[in-house]
Chain A
Amino acid sequence: MSERINGAEALMRSFKEENVTTIFGYPGGFIIPVFDALYSYQKEFDCILTRHEQGAVHAAQGYARVTGQPGVVIVTSGPAATNVITGLADAMLDSTPLVVITGQSIVAQLGTDSFQETDVIGITQPVTKWSYQIRRAEDLPWAVARAFYIAREGRPGPVVLDLTKDAQTQLFDFEYEKCRFIRSYQPNPTPDQADLALAADLINLAKRPMAVVGQGVMLGHAEKELYEFLEKADIPAASTLLGLSIMANDYPLNMGMVGMHGNVAPNRKTGECDVLIAIGCRFSDRVTGDINTYAANANIIHFDIDPSELNKNVRVFLPVLGNVKQTLPAVTRLLKPARHTEWIASFKTYKEQEDKQVIARDLHPEGPAITMAETVKCISDKSGKQAVLVADVGQNEMVSARYFSAGPGRQFVASGGLGTMGFCLPAAVGAALGAPTSEIYAVCGDGGIQMTIQELGTIMQYQLPVKVVVLNNNFLGMVRQWQELFWDKRYSSTRMQNPDFVQLAASYHIAGRRVEKREELSEAVQQMIDHKGPYLLEVHVEEEGMVYPMIPAGQPISNIIMGPSEK
């Protein structure tokens, strides 16, 4: 059954076939036909007009991160296409499924530097899983089907379809067939039985096993499989930044977070364990520090779906290729039930050390200034079980990761691999749309929020109940922290004069409040939570606050700086 329609209409029908419900967009000359078609599909799709194309992509990322479904973006050509690059690169590094449609000039003018023409394929190829230019309407259903398949399947990622004006307006016989197979792409590599058996043997023999849990577990929907695996062999586990909220904070085997500002115990224990089981993570240098000393006493087993990640950053003893949804239970079946009571108890010493030297100071500071940690902890304590925290980048992100107790669920969203300042506010827009029944906290710094602050307009227009928390230290805090520790306190270009954020929010008709005194913090947070609809809370925090513990970049992860006295 086919019917003659134009490419723009075909795009709408294709989206319906792929169960799209929400679209983030921004119109312009070379995409008008698609927006015209959208006008007739207002019942089917929520089309969210952001205030910048970067915001549209980050919003789609936030949406994808909380729903597990591809985020969909439609923008025009030229400057709009270049505005989406940051979000694409971010999504590529953080394995976020996106389908981004960019408008493009008419075919006859391609390559002639015509108005608002850019080489979108050339620019986007290095930062996408796939990008493709559609020149004829009849190729559109095939390309869209393939785009969703590629974005979703295997290790997810962003896909760009560069849609020429011709392809939007040409009439053709529409027929849609979902993509189920691509000859050159193996999204789910078949696990090697011998590897699985060897992994089980190694774990069965381990005296001091430890797991590092990455986002791959979430992307593979293998949370249950993870818990069964850990519990059967009694394996203490830590998360990467993007793995946070897979295990609840109070999950008995959860030992915290690894990495530069991670918890002391799992970082130190990385060097003490005899088998390190990395599950769906990619050994970012923010996790490993100096790779030559990383997990020096362990045989590393690495479970991952992407062959190019295996042995890429860290040389491992045993790579186990495959979807963790399959490989984990297969190994679990071969595990002998075990108890590692003493080993697990030994994490405690380091935990107590961190509690005393870092956490107590963060949460019960001597000085009058409010700390970021107090603020995030207060939100964490008062918010509901389902609350989602979307962090920006910098100190606010690390403190959020450390003090917000999330999970189990998709409840912590941050820009990991790219570390994109300005991610938070638009990503929170997407999270609010993707998880409409959850409280959404957008926790950002005074620097980062100003990179995409115009998205307050989007929050206003759609009355999204995002609670924006600006941790204002009047500094580009994380850079200042490096300058303090490693550059002799030469605060070059990190001091920032800021607007009145509460008034700024007010001009968007968003309620808000500023807090400067500790006595007011708890009540102010409560007021924000109780407020129906969007809200902005500006918290004046310690100007020269630090995030500890810290492992200086490139150093062995045993070189942990615990506080100001040592460095």
Chain B
Amino acid sequence: MEKKFYTVNVYSENTVGILNQVTNVFTRRQVNIESLTVSRSSIPGVHKYTITATTDEETIAKMVRQIERRIDVLKAFYYLDDEIIFQEIALYKIPTDKVMEHGIIEQVVRRYNARILEMNRGYTVIEQTGHNEEIEQLYRDLEPTGILQFVRSGRISITKSSIERLSNFLAEMEAKRLASEQSYK
């Protein structure tokens, strides 16, 4: 089957040890995690994991179900790039004199929608938000200046669909909870 680049979103309760359980599903199938971002979601008590990996659809579908099988995981979904809006953030630290020499600052800021976070005599820190290719392109552009440090985040993403699958799930579960309470009264 054809390998593609997938973004997996996992929503879980905020309990200790879930990350292990999620990554273990990737490890067992020898699928490399390209990036991983974990943070609180907009729903109190719910954490969101954004994971990217390259594999085939059958494998990613099975893995997502196996992740969901873990008790504290609420829901997991997988997407192709055209189904989501996504960004990464990158920081570049470059010697200020080189920046001046090359005269690239303005060009960088305009072309890549980047911004200067810090500039002093010694170094300049540039922040860029964008897609993987843009970040790699800017890296190449900056390379001649002698990049001192470079760091990039994992991907974060939001779905394009108008259906909020997690909210629907939570509503469904809340209805089940109410029903179960009724039946024990």
Contacts and interface: CB of A to CB of B under 8 A. Distances in A.
Given A125-B17, A126-B24, A307 B69 contact: yes
B173 A307 contact: no
Given A122-B20, A184-B12, A129 B71 contact: yes
Interface in A295-330: 306-308, 310-312
Contacts of A126: 21, 24, 28
A182 B12 CA distance: 12
20 contacts: A122-B17, A125-B20, A129-B71, A130-B72, A133-B16, A150-B71, A181-B177, A181-B181, A182-B71, A183-B13, A183-B74, A183-B174, A184-B72, A184-B73, A185-B71, A186-B176, A306-B69, A308-B62, A308-B69, A311-B61
Contact of A186 (B16, B17, B173): B173
A133 B72 CA distance: 14
A431 to B, nearest CB: 28
Contacts of B73: 184
Contacts of A185: 71
Interface in A99-146: 121-122, 125-126, 129-130, 133
Interface in B139-157: none
Contacts of B68: 307-308
Interface residues of B, number: 26
B66 interface: yes
A183 B177 contact: yes
In the complex, the 6 A-B pairs of residues with the closest C-beta atoms, listed nearest first: A308-B65, A308-B69, A184-B74, A130-B71, A181-B177, A181-B180
A126 B65 CA distance: 15
B117 interface: no
Interface of A: 121-122, 125-126, 129-130, 133, 150, 180-186, 306-308, 310-312
Main SS class of interface, B = helix
Nearest to A185: B71
Interface string B1-41: 00000000000110011001100100010000000000000
B172 to A, nearest CB: 9
B119 interface: no
Which residue of A150, A183, A310, A312 has the most chain B CB atoms within 10 A of its CB atom?
A183
B5 to A, nearest CB: 22
B78 to A, nearest CB: 14
Nearest to B61: A311
B71 A125 contact: no
B21 A125 contact: yes
Nearest to B174: A183
Contacts of A311: 61-62
Contacts of A133: 16
A184 B66 contact: no
Contacts of A150: 71
Contacts of B66: 308
B84 interface: no
A184 B13 contact: yes
Interface in B76-108: none
A312 B65 CA distance: 9
B158 interface: no
A311 B24 CA distance: 20
Given A122-B20, A181-B177, A312 B13 contact: no
Contacts of B170: 183
A180 B184 contact: yes
A184 B67 CA distance: 12
Contacts of B28: 126
Contacts of B74: 183-184
B23 to A, nearest CB: 11
A186 B28 CA distance: 24
Contacts of A130: 71-72
Contacts of A182: 71
Given A122-B17, A184-B13, A308-B66, 8 more contacts: A133-B16, A182-B71, A183-B74, A183-B170, A184-B74, A185-B71, A186-B176, A307-B65
Contacts of A310: 65
Contacts of A122: 17, 20
Contacts of A312: 62, 65
